[in-house]
Structure 1
Amino acid sequence: MFYAVLAYHVENTVQSWTPDEDAALMKDLLDVNTKLTREGKLGPAARLGPTAEAVTLRGPADAMVIDGPFAETKEQLLGLYVLNCASLDEAIAAARDLKRVNPTAVYEIRPIMLYKPGAALPAG
């Protein structure tokens, strides 16, 4: 079963980190990614760009483009992982590894009802 692990955080907090603080956290997260890859569980993972650069499509038909994500939460969705785990408990265990190295983040684990891998992204 595939699970999406959605990583939420207070964006202003993340943006306040020094480059060294950010690099240290990313190193720790990449260590978890390496472990999950070795276990054959990790699919695509992404760190999303700033919400100030996001747009939302809202409304019928072609929809209207609105600036921003307009999430009504304190935290913003800043990244995601796709995991291939045998059970929800296994996906939760993997998300706990991420939480240990990024304790101020919030991780939502959600089953993916349909997963269709797309074409490989170009390098760079």
Structure 2
Amino acid sequence: MAKYLLLIYGNEQIWDRLSEQERKDLDAGHAAFAAAAGDAILAGGALLPTAMATSLRGGPTPTDGPFLETKEALGGYYLLEAPDLDAALALAERLPEVSAAHGGVEIRPMREAS
């Protein structure tokens, strides 16, 4: 089985403005994804806002904030184990951010350790 990292992106300003019901709907979408994926999920989590990030670039001196200025920020991830990319895609399509106007999901195969 191969491993795939699902990277969940979205607009932090829109996330900050979500109503309580919209947050509940988003959480319900992730619960439905987790139920469908079952044991295929090896790990996952939500990230704090990019304002809390620290970056290393061009040397060992850390700087505050995200590495790049972008409209969409990495907000969370799931690490999946799936038989192939098609299976990983079928699961990833269930994430609510796939259909959100302000976000998306990137599916990246993990390199096998040698």
Q: Per the shorter chain, which TM-score range? A: 0.7 to 0.9
* Residues 1:56 and 2:55 aligned together: yes
Give me the identity figure in percent.
Answer: 33
Unaligned runs of 5+ in 1: 116-124
Scaled by the length of structure 2, the TM-score of the pair is 0.87
Which whole-Å CA distance do the structure 2 matches of 1:73 and 1:114 have between them? Answer: 30
**Counterpart in the other structure of 2:74:** 77
Q: CA RMSD in A?
A: 1.5
**Counterpart in the other structure of 1:8:** 9
One-letter amino acid of the counterpart of residue 46, structure 1: G
**1:91-113 deviation digits (Å, cap 9, x = unpaired):** 11111111xx3321210000111
| Aligned pair partner of 1:91 in 88, 95, 101 | 88
**1:45-87 deviation digits (Å, cap 9, x = unpaired):** 1010011111111223xx1111111324321100000000111
**Counterpart in the other structure of 2:32:** 31
| Aligned pair partner of 1:66 in 57, 63, 66 | 63
Cα contact 2:48–2:75 (8 A) shared by 1: yes
Unaligned runs of 5+ in 2: none
